[in-house]
Amino acid sequence: MTDGKRGSGERGLHVRVKTAAKRTVSSTRWLERHLNDPYVRRSKMDGYRSRAAYKLIEIDDKLGLLKPGARVVDLGAAPGGWCQIAVERVKSSPDAPIVVGIDYLDMDHIPGVTFLKKDFLDDDAPDQLMAALGGHKPDVVLSDMAAPTTGHRQTDHLRTTHLFEVAIQFALENLAPGGAFLAKVFRGGTENQLLSLLKQDFVTVSHIKPPASRKESPELYVVAKGFRGRGRAGFLSGHRDDAADD
């Protein structure tokens, strides 16, 4: 982490980006905002692969999910910012990794991480993740997955909600008793129903929006702690049946 003096030394710096012939005005504005984001600058100085690393830092500082020795699965791991934080906090060894990440995108190697280049939505992905942990149940399941945006708000919400649902299913089927689940969801109404369902399987369930999450972003993070260990293989189908009855 950077100290206050180092961060304050960057105040006043501002990068302006000219609109290129092949770039829209909106994408130029996004690029300018990205380049001037203090978390982006801090991630480069601190050696983290993405600004998202600070979201996990802020959440874990508050809730203490990542304890030394805990086994961790990171869903949608690329480019690796969350894996980097997990390795640091659970003390995962390069010789005996206890952090496993999965993504269909490439991710450069991180010592202490076993990485699977694979789509988590593939039918055999859960079995491969568990095999990578040597058959041991994870203590923490993380998911910062979000579907590629289409520009249509409702479609983007539904696609990301589906990723949230399958992450829940994996957690319910594989978490160690007492384990924790942390995942991204977009505001839109459905997440409240899913939180109610999660409360059947975890001691505590809550929302959190860390400071590193942009204010204009609809994203929230759901934190579920104290897994009761029952496991529900039919969670997704049951959830959809309940929704259809509403």
- The three-class DSSP label of residue 61 is helix
Residues 232 and 96: their CA atoms lie apart, in Å, by: 30
- Going from the C-alpha of 112 to that of each of 102, 129, 196, the distances in angstroms are 14, 15, 35
Known binding-site positions for S-adenosyl-L-methionine: 80, 82, 103, 119, 144
| Kind and range of the H or E run holding 86 | helix 81-90
* Residues 100 and 116: beta-carbon distance below 8 Å: yes
- Going from the C-alpha of 1 to that of each of 42, 54, 219, the distances in angstroms are 8, 9, 24
Q: What is the dihedral angle through the alpha carbons of 201, 205, 210, 213, rounded to the nearest 10 degrees?
A: 60
**CA-based angle 182:45:80, to the nearest 5?**
35
Catalytic residue among 44, 118, 184, 215: 184
Question: CB-based contacts of 126: which residues, under 8 Å, 6+ apart?
Answer: 170, 173, 174
- The three-class DSSP label of residue 232 is coil
Known binding-site positions: 80, 82, 103, 119, 144
* Residues 199 and 227: beta-carbon distance below 8 Å: no
184 is catalytic: yes
Active site residues: 184
